[in-house]
Amino acid sequence: MRETLDFFFTLLVCNLECEIDGVPVENLDAYRTQSPAFVMTLPEDNVLVGNCEDDGPPAGDYFPVVSEGVWILHAPLSVGEHEIFLRGALCDPGSGEEFAATEVTYLITIVDAGDDDRSTGSRSG
């Protein structure tokens, strides 16, 4: 499983981007890793149904399963508003052209837990 996952990730994944507050994160390949083996629980009518032969896998627990991706562990961000942009694509290995892509921008606000009523579970307002 790990060799197959590594092969397809290397072959197909392209055009990875990450920016934190407009500053590009360099060398994203350095953040590429595989997960430990885990149990994947699929419910009825799961997302894989219709995407696989024979209408996909039935509901149930599957083990072992591994995933591979680029996961960034960043130092804590300062109190205030921040923007995190992520993008990745799948490219045709022959032409290099993208055939699928996804991107997301997260707008987050970091609060000082000592100054925020939410840190105690209470809210005012």
Q: What is the pLDDT of residue 45?
A: 79
Instruction: Give yes or no for a contact between 16 and 22, defined as CB atoms under 8 angstroms apart.
Output: no
Sign of the alpha-carbon torsion through 11, 19, 35, 89: negative
Over residues 63-76, the mean pLDDT reads 92
Over residues 103-116, the mean pLDDT reads 89
Residue 104 has pLDDT above 90, yes or no: yes
Residue 97 has pLDDT above 50, yes or no: yes
Type and span of the H or E element at 99? strand 98-110
Residue 52 has pLDDT above 90, yes or no: no
For the chain, give every domain's residue range.
Answer: 2-120
